[in-house]
Structure 1
Amino acid sequence: MTASRTFLITGASSGIGAEFARQYATMGHDLVLVARRLDRLEALAAELGDKHGVTARCLAADLSKRDDVQNLLDRLEGQAVDGLINNAGYSLAHTFSHTSTQQQVDFLEVCVTAPTILAHELLSGMLTRGFGRIINVSSMVAFSPGAAGHTLYPAAKAYMLKFSRSLAAEVAAKGVHVTALCPGTTESEFQQANGMTKVLDQKPKRLSQSTDSVVAAAIRANEAGREVIVTGLVNTIAVAAMTLLPDGLITPLIRWGASKYQIPE
């Protein structure tokens, strides 16, 4: 990308989302930053404006609320958005029976429905201009058979993976690159949001990736037109194992490993 573009990033107040903002700003691109915490967005916008001279528009929205998603789109009316980073997300660490129906519905709204709506509504402008970039943040667990705890998380991330690949097949020849980013454990506030901090503090940190390395790999892959990027050698090997090994062998291994990351009920 040589010309300045505008990228909309959800979940931009911290972690991977904030790092996407920093790296695109470094490249000279303007931003639309979306999250619930407007104060954090404004601080980040000021930082990037001062440092890189880019324009960063801040829009507060709770993506679990369908009205907020529509309001976000209404506020974007007339603004060309060249890239969409569907990053906002979280997990519910407890088992399915220890959460409420509303908690699970809100999770699906944020992690499945809102990204789908945003991609659909912004895609037409990208196709008209013959240029677009979409990165859907999935996870390496999209390839897993699932385990106790975080019940809908693998399914939601598998959806983002398959959605990305199908959409890429439709629009790649029209100047729009679609990529599913599938990282493993990444240094961010994700664990604080789902109450896993104490559990993960007891685990080795050597397999955790930095946000800057994950985001840099995602941007490179997206620019190259790759449909899927699994970040990190260990994660790549793990995904290969989940993909290639028989289900009867990989399922008990995954569930044994996942049991260490479940909050006791």
Structure 2
Amino acid sequence: MTTNPPRRALITGASSGIGEAFARELASHGIALVLTARRTDRLEQLAAELRSRHGVEATVAPLDLARPDAVEALVAALDNQHLPIDILINNAGYGVPGYFDESPWQTHADFIQVLMTAPTELSHRLLPGMKARGYGRIVNVASLAGHIPGSAGHTLYGASKAYLIRFSQSLALETLGTGVNVTALCPGFTYSEFHDVSGSRQLVSQMPKFMWMDAPTVVRQGWQAVEAGKAVYVNGRVNGLIKSLFKLMPDALALRLVEKQGRKFRMGGH
């Protein structure tokens, strides 16, 4: 009797935070993993732990998604190693602090490549195989920031997350009936290294504790959402309420509120 091979997931930004939590969650379900990020040592340590704890196959693929050829090279390597991807977690991301014109263009170009172009290209290259096999899951880790007006500073962050939300909605409709589910996961403030990397740790630490969620909870909810076929999922009641309130507000009022709060905090973000 033959047995079907385990599902395999590709997780970007897997070395910490929500990406690492996704690796742990999926490994607990017996799903094979391909882990990619820039920090090879962190990836190898995580892969070894998950192999030992769950007995899953875990492949490490160190990669800088800011390189324009990174996705093409990664997918070619997966094809050469006969590692079909059934589950794509587009999680890699970071923030660029400061006002738009204070950073060189290359900094913004790299940001757009990592947070918008790479997840779009990965989805485009991996989706045909998912459809052909009649099963696929794509989770685009967006943010509550994609549902509210943009704020001063971190200029492209909210815009990139709004893009991922709309992209996910369209792709979810296009894949109806194919066995492929697509979800934009929209956490708010999540305990991770994100705010250390973006330089906003001191500011966001002033936020009340009820605004925060832990990465494993965000991931469990996200996995349940994509399995249920939800095109967009906002984590937590507080974040859901914030999204609803901003949706009901007149645009001018919402923008003024974000401008006032943005002096102290960058709203949303994982």
Q: What corresponds to 2:12 in structure 1?
A: 10
- The runs of at least 4 consecutive aligned structure 1 residues that moved more than 6 Å come to none
- Unmatched tracts of structure 1, length 5 or more: none
Q: What corresponds to 2:143 in structure 1?
A: 139
Alignment: residue pair count: 261
Deviations 1:73-129 (A, max 9, x none): 111113210000000001112110211101000000000000001000000100000
Q: What corresponds to 2:104 in structure 1?
A: 100
Residue identity matched to 1:83? I
| Cα separation, 2, equivalents of 1:229 and 1:3 | 29
1:50 aligns with 2:52: yes
| Cα separation, 2, equivalents of 1:173 and 1:140 | 28
Q: What corresponds to 1:79 in structure 2?
A: 83
1:201 aligns with 2:193: no
- Unmatched tracts of structure 2, length 5 or more: none
Q: 8 Å contact 1:132–1:176 — kept in the other structure?
A: yes
Taking only the aligned residue pairs, the percentage that are identical comes to: 48
Residue 148 of structure 1 aligns to a residue in which SS? coil
Q: 8 Å contact 1:34–1:58 — kept in the other structure?
A: yes
1:240 aligns with 2:244: yes
Residue identity matched to 1:199? L
Deviations 1:158-196 (A, max 9, x none): 000000000000002100000000010100000111111
Deviations 1:46-83 (A, max 9, x none): 11010000011000000011122222111111321000
Q: 8 Å contact 1:140–1:235 — kept in the other structure?
A: yes
Per the TM alignment, residue 219 of structure 1 is displaced from its structure 2 partner at its CA by 0.2
State the TM-score, normalizing by the size of structure 2. Answer: 0.94
| Cα separation, 1, equivalents of 2:170 and 2:257 | 30
Residue identity matched to 1:108? I
| Cα separation, 2, equivalents of 1:175 and 1:3 | 17
| Cα separation, 2, equivalents of 1:250 and 1:197 | 25
RMSD over aligned CA atoms reads 1.3
Per the TM alignment, residue 8 of structure 1 is displaced from its structure 2 partner at its CA by 0.4
| Cα separation, 1, equivalents of 2:113 and 2:49 | 30
1:165 aligns with 2:163: no
Q: Select 1:128's aligned residue among 121, 132, 135.
A: 132
1:32 aligns with 2:12: no
Residue 112 of structure 1 aligns to a residue in which SS? helix
